[in-house]
Amino acid sequence: MRFDIITVLPGLLESPFAHSILQRAQKKRIVEIYVHNLREYTANKQKSVDDYPYGGGSGMVMQIEPFANCIEKLKGERDYDEIIFMTPDGKTLNQETANELSGKENLLILCGHYKGIDQRIRDIYVTREISVGDYVLSGGELPAAIVVDAVVRLIPGVLNDETSALSDSFQGELLDAPVYSRPADWKGHKVPDILLSGDQVKIENWRHDEALKRTQERRPDLLE
């Protein structure tokens, strides 16, 4: 699977993709991640990619030409299953969306900045708009990294234990149950006896009950 990410601040994405699961996925050649500097696609001598908005108002708007130049170049090299724009007014990212995207081959992600991007880019090129929550960040780089992380871990071969992703919160209708590890007794705080019983059927029933309880307490909307 391949990700191409267009950004005005490529340095913001260096660390997220250079460690842990995302790094291993790239080393295994399961995933390719390429970050493209938008400033390389502007004819402006100062390498600026923004200008004042038509109609007045505060903030600067990212111009259409640099984005169009970069997108057209990349589209000339391969077909993209989705061209995604990270924006607060997009559809909120959830596990269902991550599952769907994990089955794609090529994804192109656009990172906005400043006041936003020229609407014509959204109208002409973008096939999906995604938000990571009802709040505003300085740019789309961190949200893009979140999307990549959420999707990559679902691709077969990325996780050492592929069943781990299947039992995550939001993978089904419930949040995940509590988890414990050694020691079994830490300063009087003990692991539930059922988890030490070795009875896998009872353990799975306990996990389901605990997951249901946690969901009812924290996210009752998921049960509606």
pTM (2 d.p.):
0.88
Q: Domain total for the chain?
A: 2
Question: For 154-181, what is the mean pLDDT?
Answer: 78
Please provide residue 145's backbone torsions phi and psi, each rounded to the nearest 5 degrees: -65, -35
CATH number at residue 54: 3.40.1280.10
Average model confidence (pLDDT) across the chain: 94
* The pLDDT of residue 164 is above 60: no
Q: Which domain holds residue 136?
A: 2-152
What per-residue string of b and e applies to 17-42 under the rule 16 or more CB within 10 Å gives b? beeeebeebbeeeebebebbbbbebb
Kindly state the DSSP code that residue 172 receives in the 8-state scheme.
S
* The pLDDT of residue 197 is above 80: yes
> Sorting pLDDT into bands at 50, 70 and 90, what band is 151?
very high
> Sorting pLDDT into bands at 50, 70 and 90, what band is 134?
very high
Show Cβ contacts of residue 198 under 8 Å, excluding neighbours closer than 6 positions.
none
* The pLDDT of residue 167 is above 60: no
Question: For 27-49, what is the mean pLDDT?
Answer: 96
Residue 74 lies in a domain: yes
Residues 109 and 25 grouped into a single domain: yes
Question: For 196-211, what is the mean pLDDT?
Answer: 96
* Residue in 169, 176, 181, 185 with CA at minimum distance from that of residue 207: 176
Percent of the chain surpassing pLDDT 90: 90
Residues 177 and 138 grouped into a single domain: no
* The pLDDT of residue 91 is above 70: yes
* Residue in 49, 107, 44 with CA at minimum distance from that of residue 80: 107
Residues 135 and 52 grouped into a single domain: yes
CATH number at residue 186: 1.10.1270.20
* Residue in 113, 112, 114, 97 with CA at minimum distance from that of residue 148: 97
Residues 131 and 207 grouped into a single domain: no
Residues 41 and 125 grouped into a single domain: yes
* The pLDDT of residue 224 is above 90: no
Residues 124 and 16 grouped into a single domain: yes
Residue 94 lies in a domain: yes
